[in-house]
């Protein structure tokens, strides 16, 4: 009795494994799974130079706000230079109003007169991202929820 059960189970597994290898595996990147990655199509960032854009509505609490302007020319952040901060460390840059980086980005000892930025937030673009007009890869039914 036991042997018959083992044999039939083995048969079921054999059929199942043949069936699964026969399925065509297609990847979202559009090429065969073992193929080398194609270079992604380069998309231009939306928006123009800072100062002309509306802010993008946030869709969840504690969301790092999305960057509404182009970042060409100042997204090259290195150990000593950070052009984002030229503008975002204050509320005004060259007479223009700028959204100042949140209080969470400054050290507790920081004052308005002598702002001390928290180096944990130095790499702005690990959290804040510029936008491109790209179609979602999969259907997305996410609805924001900040009205709390």
- Site for ligand HEC contains 68 (CB under 6 A): yes
Angle at 28 between CA 25 and CA 32, to 5 degrees: 50
Note whether 110 binds ligand HEC by CB under 6 A: no
Tokens of 11: 């048969």
Smaller CB separation from ligand HEC, 115 or 128: 128
CA 96 – CA 13 distance, rounded (Å): 69
Residues making up the chain, counted from first to last: 148
- Rg of the chain over Cα atoms, rounded to whole angstroms, equals 26
Do the beta carbons of residue 58 and residue 127 sit within 8 Å?
Answer: no
104 contributes a contact to ligand HEC by CB under 6 A? yes
> In sequence order, which residues have a C-beta less than 8 Å from that of residue 119 and are 6 or more positions away?
none
Smallest distance from the beta carbon of 60 to ligand HEC, in angstroms?
Answer: 10
Least distance (Å) from ligand HEC to the CB of residue 86?
Answer: 6
Structure tokens given for 88: 């975002």
Question: Applying CB under 6 A, what is the total number of residues that bind ligand HEC?
Answer: 37
The reply to whether 101 sits near ligand HEC by the rule CB under 6 A is yes
Interface with ligand HEC includes 144 (CB under 6 A)? no
Which residues make up the interface to ligand HEC (CB under 6 A)? 50-53, 55, 62, 64-65, 67-69, 71, 74-75, 82-88, 93, 96, 98-99, 101-102, 104-105, 121-128
């Amino acid at each position: 009795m036991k042997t018959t059960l083992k044999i039939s189970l083995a048969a079921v597994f054999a059929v199942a494994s043949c069936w699964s290898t026969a399925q065509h595996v297609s990847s979202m990147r559009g090429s065969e799974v073992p193929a080398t990655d194609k270079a992604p199509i380069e998309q231009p960032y939306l928006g123009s130079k800072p100062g002309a854009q509306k802010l993008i509505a946030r869709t969840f609490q504690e969301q790092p706000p999305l960057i509404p302007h182009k970042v060409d020319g100042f997204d090259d952040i290195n150990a000593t230079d950070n052009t984002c901060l030229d503008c975002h460390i204050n509320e005004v840059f060259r007479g223009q109003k700028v959204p100042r980086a949140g209080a969470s980005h400054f050290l507790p000892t920081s004052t308005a007169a002598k702002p001390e930025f928290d180096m944990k937030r130095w790499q702005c673009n690990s959290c804040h991202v510029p936008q491109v007009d790209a179609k979602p890869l999969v259907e997305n039914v996410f609805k924001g929820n900040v009205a709390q």
